[in-house]
Amino acid sequence: MGINDPERLIRLITLVDRPTFRATLDVGNFLCVAADPVLSVRRLLPFAEVVHLKDFRIREQSPGPGWLGTLGDRAILGTVVGWGDLPLSTIVRDVVSSGFAGPVSIEFEGPEDDQFAVGEGLRQARALVEGVAA
């Protein structure tokens, strides 16, 4: 089990028991430990200081170089926020409806051009948040 496991993170935060020791809720990292991203986000939202959006393409087996193997024997490849297989609309809806008031950041770690990917990812993230607010 990796540190990205939601129950392990909650246990760590609870044991430290300090108001400033919180979580960066990285919505894509749960895939690495075969945890459901939607359920993990819902479980960790009360402990979140920052929500960190990113996206992955997800396959049952690696199509080739650059793909990361997960503890659930799947393959993931980073991509532009909004272009992958993570259920980001559900995740963003859950974050917004929870009343989360902290910062939301994006991350890009895919093969696409960095400058393009960050701009497009930011546009996609804003559209997801605006879609929830509408």
The pLDDT value recorded for residue 48 is: 97
Quote the percentage of the chain above a pLDDT of 90: 92
Mean predicted confidence (pLDDT) in 21-42? 95
**Three-class secondary structure assignment of 17-36:** CCCCCCEEEECCHHHHHCCC
The pLDDT value recorded for residue 1 is: 53
Show the beta-strand stretches assigned E in 1-134.
23-26, 48-53, 55-59, 68-69, 75-79, 104-106
pLDDT in tens, 43-95: 999 999 999 999 999 999 999 999 999 999 999 999 999 999 999 999 999 99
Distance, CA of 13 to CA of 18 (rounded, Å): 8
Quote the percentage of the chain above a pLDDT of 70: 98
Q: Is the pLDDT of residue 2 over 90?
A: no
Burial grade of 85 (CB within 10 A; 0-12, 13-18, 19 or more): middle
In contact, 29 and 4? CB cutoff 8 Å: yes
Say if strands 104-106 and 75-79 run parallel, antiparallel, or are unpaired: unpaired
Q: Is the pLDDT of residue 41 over 90?
A: yes
Mean predicted confidence (pLDDT) in 99-112? 95
For the chain, the domains span 6-133
Class of domain 6-133: alpha beta
Tell me the backbone φ, ψ of residue 55, rounded to 5 degrees.
-140, 155
The pLDDT value recorded for residue 132 is: 86
